[in-house]
Amino acid sequence: MERRKAKVAMGERKAEARLPGDYPRVSGPHMDLVRTYSSPALLGPRVCDELVALVEHMYTEEEAEVARHLRPWRPRTAAYLARASGKPLAEVRKILHRLAHEKYVLFSFGKGEKERFGLLPILPGTFEHVLVRKSPEEVTDWHRRFAELFEALFRTGFTTAYSRRPVHAVRYLPVQEAVEAVPMALPSDRLEVIMADHRDFAVGVCQCRLTKKTLGQDCGRPLETCMVMGDFAPVLVREGRMRRVDREEALAIKREAEKAGLVTWMMNDRSSKYFKCSCSCCGCCCDALRQISEFNAPGFIAPPHFLPHLDLALCDYCGKCAKVCTMGAMVVVREGEKKSHLHRKERCIGCGLCVVACPRGALSLREVPGYRPPPANFLAYVARYGGNYIMNGLSEWVSRRR
């Protein structure tokens, strides 16, 4: 049994730590799902008001009665869930189709009687799966409420518990104009090289900026920047959740995003044979970058290959580098005779936007000593960081029982 704690500090806010018994008005099926989603095996938050509200919105009580029998990373068939819930198979199939192919709160694979259904972590996973859209016009009132409730849960900072030991799931690429002048750049640093290995592309709206737009808090930068490359792209196109683009248009979308002050992330492995996704981010909306900008928890993001170097002899303290820096890593002060230029390396992702913005050439990218290239493929990634995922989950599990 989880012991009660009065408050659990998470990031910049606090979430009230609860026990399942604190919710007598919440249905049993919903509370079973809350317990499952709170599991460290699903990178879950502790039981709290925000999680309960989100789960109640995601599932009706009828749907929760079926989904309550799912466990982390153990997909089940409709036949299994029908037996477990005691409901007719035809009814369960209808419910699962709605959850997996209309609401997208479950994932599924296989066809017909062999199709299996499973739970995803809230983040990363359910949040993205639910909000993958071709355009903001496809957002319903249900999606708006989902975005509002997710944002409330995200702001508790629950994700920071799972990056205490670095997992480096994504990496940020230097923008094209900055990396072209760097002879040490690797193929894994160059977006056009990464894209050259793919034939299928699909693009949709950024789920993070879509959420902020839904809440009236977006920064006004381009929305259509979320991209999938490889074998999963045609699937999302067939489902009507993204639109197909060719390689040239995909690259053009990314370059326009850079011009708007967005930076591109890639999954942190060099394999390009199968599924690969990418988005173009800002520090104010992107949930990955907010791990740094709001929660000072950089362990989810791989250290940069390059960092900006400043030649103070050329700097006139115009502040343009600070203006374009999406992470607030550049701080320039010019008040009368007082001038200062501070580079906050702990916030820097090495994107090079500041280098491009500098009109005097005072900034350039330099290689970080001891940089470790991305793992060669997904299996190599798991070999390098899988232990940290396990230890983060175990640490969170132990801390809940103190």
- CATH of residue 107: 1.10.10
In this structure, are 210 and 272 located in the same domain?
yes
Is residue 397 one of the residues assigned to a domain?
Answer: no
Note the pLDDT of residue 1: 27
Query: Which of 390, 313, 306 lies closest to 354 in space, CA to CA?
Result: 306
Region 308-334: mean pLDDT is: 95
In this structure, are 218 and 286 located in the same domain?
yes
Note the pLDDT of residue 18: 73
Does 92 have pLDDT greater than 80?
Answer: yes
> For the chain, what percent of residues have pLDDT higher than 70?
94
Is residue 56 one of the residues assigned to a domain?
Answer: yes
Is residue 183 one of the residues assigned to a domain?
Answer: yes
Region 173-189: mean pLDDT is: 92
Note the pLDDT of residue 402: 77
In this structure, are 166 and 296 located in the same domain?
yes
Backbone angles phi, psi at 229, to 5 degrees: -120, 145
Q: How many domains does the chain have?
A: 3
Is residue 184 one of the residues assigned to a domain?
Answer: yes
Distance between CA atoms of residues 229 and 109, nearest Å: 19
Structure tokens at 35: 């317990």
Of the listed ranges 5-9, 63-67, 97-101, 387-391, the least confidently predicted one is 5-9
Note the pLDDT of residue 132: 95
What residue numbers bound the domain in which 328 lies? 309-367
In this structure, are 236 and 327 located in the same domain?
no
In this structure, are 69 and 115 located in the same domain?
yes
Does 187 have pLDDT greater than 80?
Answer: yes
Is residue 218 one of the residues assigned to a domain?
Answer: yes
In this structure, are 183 and 297 located in the same domain?
yes
pLDDT-based confidence at 185, cuts 50/70/90?
A: very high
In this structure, are 114 and 189 located in the same domain?
no
Note the pLDDT of residue 7: 33
Does 8 have pLDDT greater than 70?
Answer: no
Does 4 have pLDDT greater than 70?
Answer: no
pTM of the shown model:
0.91
In this structure, are 246 and 177 located in the same domain?
yes
Note the pLDDT of residue 272: 63
Is residue 277 one of the residues assigned to a domain?
Answer: yes
In this structure, are 248 and 382 located in the same domain?
yes
Note the pLDDT of residue 334: 86
Compute the C-alpha angle 197/198/203, nearest 5°. 140
Give tens-digit pLDDT for 200-249: 999 999 999 999 999 999 899 999 999 999 989 999 999 999 999 999 99
Is residue 400 one of the residues assigned to a domain?
Answer: no
Region 101-130: mean pLDDT is: 96
Query: Which of 133, 263, 158, 316 lies closest to 211 in space, CA to CA?
Result: 133
Report how far apart, in Å, the C-alpha atoms of 13 and of each of 9, 154, 288 are. 7, 10, 17
pLDDT-based confidence at 14, cuts 50/70/90?
A: low
Region 4-18: mean pLDDT is: 45
- CATH of residue 347: 3.30.70.3270
Region 148-163: mean pLDDT is: 96
34 or 401, which is more confident? 34
In this structure, are 165 and 246 located in the same domain?
yes
Region 324-334: mean pLDDT is: 94
Give tens-digit pLDDT for 272-304: 666 789 999 999 999 999 999 899 999 999 999
Please give the mean pLDDT across all residues of the chain: 92
In this structure, are 274 and 384 located in the same domain?
yes
Does 12 have pLDDT greater than 60?
Answer: no
Is residue 16 one of the residues assigned to a domain?
Answer: yes
In this structure, are 376 and 359 located in the same domain?
no
